[in-house]
Amino acid sequence: MQIISLTRKDIESILKLESESAPEKPDYIKYSPQELQDLFDNLEKCRAFGIYSDNELIGWSGYKWIRGNLYEITPVVVGKNYRGKGLGKALLEYAVKEVLRNHKDAEIFLTVYPQNLDALNLYLKNNFVVYDFKKDYYGQGADRLFLKHSK
């Protein structure tokens, strides 16, 4: 399976994948259609990547510029039926590689819900280290761990 650049035409597929991937997690902060539109409106500073199988988006991630040389990796989302096959790792590695290819001095970070152990373990195994915790970051009960990439 090949990782490709996503475009505005993929917004509906991203929204569908996000909804199907975490319905049991009401506190999972999903992108809104407007946030995705904003992501694709600023392609100089943001990128999104995905993996399709049989014309269905089965995984996606990307990055966005925050300020200075600081970039955030967007959530790595893989469809339930495709987990455990290395797709999340491939998307994460691809996103990091793309940031560093385009911005050599970039500092890269991401956030994760502390109880999302699968995602947390993926990040820790791929050169990310925890550097901060923020309680109720996205509202009541929506705590976040902050991790930075150690090159």
Q: Token match 């991630």: residue?
A: 61
CA-to-CA distance for 55 and 13, rounded, in angstroms?
10
What pLDDT shows up at residue 4?
Answer: 96
CATH number for the domain that contains residue 85: 3.40.630.30
Q: Token match 């992501």: residue?
A: 39
Query: pLDDT tens per residue, the chain (151 residues)?
Result: 799 999 999 999 998 998 887 655 554 556 778 888 887 887 778 899 999 999 999 999 999 999 999 999 988 999 999 999 999 999 999 999 999 998 889 999 999 989 889 999 999 999 999 999 999 887 888 889 999 999 7
CA-to-CA distance for 35 and 130, rounded, in angstroms?
26
Domain count, the chain: 1
What pLDDT shows up at residue 85?
Answer: 95
What is the span of the domain harbouring residue 86? Answer: 3-149
DSSP 98-121: HHHHH-TT-EEEEEE-TT-HHHHH
CA-to-CA distance for 19 and 22, rounded, in angstroms?
6
- Beta bridge pairs of residue 73: 63
DSSP summary character for residue 86: S
